[in-house]
Amino acid sequence: MPDLVGYHLLLGWPVPDHLAAAARQFRYHRRVFVAPPWPQIYTNDSERNQDFTEAVRTHDAMVTAYTQLGYELSALPLGDVATRRAFVERMAV
């Protein structure tokens, strides 16, 4: 639900009341891990067709949506998989 709110924000659309209500009712864990855009590894493929600028805008809209909904955001460090995994394990309490 929060991602749908984020996409509405990204597109400049108003968030319908029923969507806002659902996002408040059907919640994830309070802590949400966010993978920030990382230009050094960013690439397009069959699943990711946004350019980097749009990816940054999408990230920012998602951060806004989750923050407005009261989630605690933890940005993943820019690093290898082992570093990211250790960060998640340390923070997931």
Q: Supply the pLDDT for residue 37.
A: 93
Q: Supply the pLDDT for residue 14.
A: 97
Residue 72 CA to residue 17 CA, distance in Å, equals 23
Residue 11 CA to residue 61 CA, distance in Å, equals 9
- Confidence check: pLDDT of 62 > 80: yes
**Domain range list for the chain:** 2-91
pTM: 0.89
**How far, in Å, are 13, 22, 26, 37 from residue 72 at the CA level?**
24, 18, 16, 19
What is the Cα 17 distance to its own chain's centre?
A: 21
Which H or E element spans position 73? strand 72-75
- No. of helices (H) and no. of strands (E), the chain: 4, 2
Parallel, antiparallel or unpaired: strands 31-34 and 72-75: parallel
